[in-house]
């Protein structure tokens, strides 16, 4: 790790790691990547050109692969999901702020996205720190949210306009998580509700929940909590879904974009 550099992407979120090849990394180096991930929420590594086998091996270093039930798998590599935008699409997969797999009872730890084909411009991915957003809340709202749980559902995949095939057999029962989670490794408190999958607070109606959820979604995605990943050929991004939300920018209509994604299984989340 002697030749590594780690540079922050913004004040509160994200770091770029250079001087390391993920295709050949040692366990000690990957432990260093994991530490950087927990410290910064998202890490990007330029010019990796990960092979599918190295992508799978990298994911397995972090934990058990959690195959996405809704995405199209990469041919011959069922553990890798395609995040594909056709030139004819206006909307993109992940084009609204969200947390991967929050609808699962033990939701995703990290996701690993590997650039395969990039548009000539645009298609950046934004990340927002849920630990910094928590810190930014008033004492009163923090205390109120700490006593709440919220339901998360995969139902929004039912009306997908982003090129995903409808898979009726993929849907599962909703999952309940604390609104403020304690990060399973670092114990950092983080806000854990997102606009794609959170439906309502436990014990509240959907209608009652909507105004406070809408406030939280606006609050947590303020630019001060975010960083922006501008993709380059072969780049890899790894993010911890308990620490950040993310948003894929749909600003390259008429062009194709293909990313390979693996999501790693996490643990059941605890509150403070
Ligand atoms: C995702 O939501 O996982 C996709 C992000 C991206 O394509 O930039």
Reply yes or no on whether 261 is catalytic: yes
Distance from C-alpha of 240 to C-alpha of 108, rounded to nearest angstrom: 8
Question: Binning pLDDT at 50, 70 and 90, where does residue 259 land?
Answer: very high
Using the predicted structure, report yes or no on whether residue 12 has a pLDDT greater than 90.
yes
Nearest atom (ligand 1) to Cα of 98: 2
Could you tell me if 189 and 182 are in contact, meaning their C-beta atoms sit under 8 angstroms apart? Answer: yes
Average pLDDT of the residues in 220-233: 98
- pLDDT by residue (tens digit) across 194-216? 999 999 999 999 999 999 999 99
Question: Both ends of the chain: CA-CA distance in Å?
Answer: 34
Give me the phi and psi of 247, to 5 degrees please.
-150, 120
Reply yes or no on whether 257 is catalytic: no
Using the predicted structure, report yes or no on whether residue 162 has a pLDDT greater than 90.
no
Question: Binning pLDDT at 50, 70 and 90, where does residue 165 land?
Answer: confident
Distance from C-alpha of 113 to C-alpha of 111, rounded to nearest angstrom: 6
Higher-scoring residue by pLDDT: 235, 161 = 235
Closest Cα to atom 6 of ligand 1: 248
Alpha carbon of residue 23 to chain centroid: 22
Mean pLDDT for all residues in the chain: 95
Higher-scoring residue by pLDDT: 171, 63 = 63
Beta strands in the chain (DSSP E): 5-8, 15-18, 42-45, 73-74, 77-85, 110-117, 125-129, 149-152, 175-178, 180-182, 189-191, 198-201, 226-229, 236-240, 244-248, 257-263
Q: Which of 84, 98, 177, 257 is catalytic?
A: 98
Average pLDDT of the residues in 80-105: 95
Q: Is the pTM of this model over 0.95?
A: yes
Closest Cα to atom 3 of ligand 1: 94
Distance from C-alpha of 2 to C-alpha of 68, rounded to nearest angstrom: 36
Neighbours of 132 (CB within 10 A): 22
> Tokens in use for 18?
């250079």
Using the predicted structure, report yes or no on whether residue 159 has a pLDDT greater than 80.
no
- pLDDT by residue (tens digit) across 107-130? 999 999 999 999 999 999 999 999
Q: Which fold has domain 5-263?
A: Double-stranded beta-helix (3.60.130)
CA of 14 to the centre of ligand 1 (A): 15
pLDDT at residue 2, rounded to an integer: 59
Reply yes or no on whether 159 is catalytic: no
**What ranges do the domains of the chain cover?**
5-263
Closest CA to 39 of 238, 195, 264: 238
The residue with tokens 């909307």 is: 91
Could you tell me if 72 and 270 are in contact, meaning their C-beta atoms sit under 8 angstroms apart? Answer: no
- pLDDT by residue (tens digit) across 63-81? 999 998 889 999 999 999 9
pLDDT at residue 1, rounded to an integer: 63
Please report, rounded to a whole number, the percentage of residues in the chain having pLDDT higher than 70. Answer: 99
pLDDT at residue 99, rounded to an integer: 98
Distance from C-alpha of 222 to C-alpha of 210, rounded to nearest angstrom: 19
Reply yes or no on whether 246 is catalytic: yes
pLDDT at residue 160, rounded to an integer: 66
pLDDT at residue 202, rounded to an integer: 98
The residue with tokens 């690993």 is: 112
Higher-scoring residue by pLDDT: 169, 42 = 42
pLDDT at residue 90, rounded to an integer: 87
């Amino acid at each position: 790790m002697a030749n590594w550099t780690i540079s922050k992407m913004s004040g509160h979120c994200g770091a770029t790691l250079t001087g390391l090849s993920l295709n050949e990394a040692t366990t000690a180096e990957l432990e260093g990547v994991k530490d950087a991930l927990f410290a910064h929420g998202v890490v990007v590594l330029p010019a990796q050109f990960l092979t599918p086998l190295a992508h799978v091996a990298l994911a397995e270093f972090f934990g058990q692969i959690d195959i996405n039930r809704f995405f199209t798998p990469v041919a011959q590599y069922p553990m890798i999901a395609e995040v594909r935008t056709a030139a004819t699409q206006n909307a993109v997969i992940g084009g609204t702020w969200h947390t991967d797999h929050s609808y699962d009872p033990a939701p995703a730890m990290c996701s690993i996205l590997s650039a395969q084909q990039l548009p000539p411009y645009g298609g950046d991915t934004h990340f927002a720190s849920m630990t910094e957003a928590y810190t930014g809340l008033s004492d009163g709202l923090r205390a109120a949210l700490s006593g709440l749980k919220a339901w998360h559902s995969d139902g929004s995949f039912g009306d997908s306009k982003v090129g995903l095939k409808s898979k009726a057999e993929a849907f599962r029962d909703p999952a309940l998580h604390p609104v403020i989670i304690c990060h399973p490794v670092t114990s950092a408190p983080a806000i854990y509700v997102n606009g794609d999958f959170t439906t309502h607070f436990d014990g509240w109606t959907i209608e009652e929940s909507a105004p406070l959820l809408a406030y939280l979604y606006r609050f947590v995605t303020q630019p001060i909590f975010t960083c922006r990943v501008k993709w380059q050929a072969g780049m890899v991004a790894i993010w911890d879904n308990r620490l950040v939300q993310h948003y894929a920018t749909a600003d390259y209509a008429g062009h194709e974009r293909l990313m390979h994604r693996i999501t790693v299984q996490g643990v059941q989340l605890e509150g403070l």
